[in-house]
Structure 1
Amino acid sequence: MKRKLGFTLIELLVVMAIVAALLAIVAPRYMNRIAVAKEAALKENLSALRIGLDQFYSDRGTYPEALGELVERRYLRAMPVDPVTERRDTWVPVVREEEGGRKVVRDVRSGAPGKATDGTLFASW
């Protein structure tokens, strides 16, 4: 009697169960790593913006009136992307009033909603 080549339904189900079990173990770790990478990129982009603000102040003796001035005056090549919101326009400038009533940007925060993996709000960074 000749045996046909191929897999039985039971063999296929066993293999699929093993693959599903492995994916159930790996998928949550992968998703957590994506969140951690976005948070690291967000911190780096905030640092670049703050360095640009400090350099602007160091060169000109005053802070810019808007974040866009950092790009216009070539302190940044382009406004960085907020990796959590995946947009460039969600940065929240921290505005202070200088002598003479001029409002300037002295700091910047993320406009991303929600919390980081450590429980802090993105808006507090």
Structure 2
Amino acid sequence: MPRRREATGFTLIELLVVLAILAMLLTLAVPRYFHSVDAAKEAVLRENLRVTREAIAHFRGDLGRYPDSLDDLVTHKYLSMLPADPITNSNASWELIAPGDAAKGNVADLRSGALGSGRDGIAFREW
């Protein structure tokens, strides 16, 4: 009488149970991941604004005028490179605010050009 071979592998039920467990774990992990990504982008935006505003203030203190563009901060070595807005993923989306006296330069401050608001409900353009 021939011996019966034992079947190897997983049954359909076992695979479905594993997939159901993975799906439940992902429903818990994915929202937390995206929340963390958004929080990190907001933190980077705040830091980029702080550093760039500080560089504008140093530029004005040293040269007695505001920069004509953000590229002046890089040219005069106040910044090693122009930071990108992490929300828009671009360094060209900054909104520049001119000083009251146009003869003293063109960039007194900057804001994010991103639409929407942060987790605190404040629009990115108001930071």
What range is the shorter-chain TM-score in?
Answer: over 0.9
**Structure 1 unaligned runs (5+)?**
none
Q: TM-score, normalised by structure 2?
A: 0.91
Which is higher, the Rg of structure 1 or of structure 2? 2
Which whole-Å CA distance do the structure 2 matches of 1:119 and 1:43 have between them? Answer: 15
**Aligned pairs, how many?**
123
Displacement of 1:3:
2.2
RMSD: 1.2
More strand by share: 1
Give 3-state SS (helix, strand or coil) of 1:40's partner. Answer: helix
Which whole-Å CA distance do the structure 1 matches of 2:91 and 2:33 have between them? Answer: 26
**Structure 2 unaligned runs (5+)?**
none
Per the alignment, residue 37 of structure 2 pairs with: 34
1:91 equivalent in alignment to 2:94: yes
Q: Mapping of 1:1-125 within 5 angstroms?
A: 1-98=4-101, 101-102=102-103, 103-125=105-127
Which whole-Å CA distance do the structure 1 matches of 2:100 and 2:109 have between them? Answer: 12
Q: Percent identity?
A: 43
- Runs of 4+ deviating beyond 6 Å: none
Which whole-Å CA distance do the structure 1 matches of 2:6 and 2:28 have between them? Answer: 37
Q: TM-score, normalised by structure 1?
A: 0.92
Which whole-Å CA distance do the structure 2 matches of 1:26 and 1:118 have between them? Answer: 22
